[in-house]
């Protein structure tokens, strides 16, 4: 039997995700991520850099998909140094 394809709302929340923000280190290679982030901004002007950041935020927010986690992340981003 072929695997079932998911679409639309059916696909939402089908994995076992936590409903809390992970703030402890959680990346195998954080330096690799930082390097990729810097490379993403290379040769962009200020406006282009802000636009690419906004697109990245929206893509990651969509991937997370949990409003509780997103609100917690937004709160941390505003208050953490």
Indicate the pTM of the whole model.
Answer: 0.73
Is 53 buried (19+), middle (13-18) or exposed (0-12) by CB count in 10 A? middle
- For residue 30, being part of any structural domain is answered with no
**Quick check: 60 and 53 in contact, CB under 8 A?**
no
Q: What is the pLDDT of residue 19?
A: 87
- For residue 22, being part of any structural domain is answered with no
User: For residues 81 and 77, what is the distance between their CA atoms, to the nearest angstrom?
Assistant: 8
- For residue 50, being part of any structural domain is answered with yes
- For residue 53, being part of any structural domain is answered with yes
Q: Which residue is it, tokens 């039997």?
A: 1
Residue 20 pLDDT greater than 80, yes or no: yes
- For residue 58, being part of any structural domain is answered with yes
Name the pLDDT band for 5 (thresholds 50, 70, 90): low
Q: Show the domain range for 64.
A: 46-81
What is the number of domains present in the chain?
1
- For residue 24, being part of any structural domain is answered with no
Q: What is the pLDDT of residue 2?
A: 52
- For residue 28, being part of any structural domain is answered with no
**Quick check: 68 and 16 in contact, CB under 8 A?**
no
- For residue 10, being part of any structural domain is answered with no
pLDDT digits (tens, 9 = 90+) for 21-74: 999 999 999 999 999 999 999 999 999 999 999 999 999 999 999 999 999 999
């Amino acid at each position: 039997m072929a695997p079932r394809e998911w679409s639309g709302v059916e696909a939402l929340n089908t994995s076992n995700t936590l409903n809390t923000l992970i703030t402890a280190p959680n990346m195998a290679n954080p330096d690799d991520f930082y390097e990729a982030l810097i490379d993403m901004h290379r040769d962009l002007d200020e406006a282009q850099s802000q636009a690419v950041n906004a697109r990245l935020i929206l893509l990651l927010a969509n991937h997370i998909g949990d409003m509780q986690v997103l609100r917690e992340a937004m709160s941390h981003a505003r208050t953490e140094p």
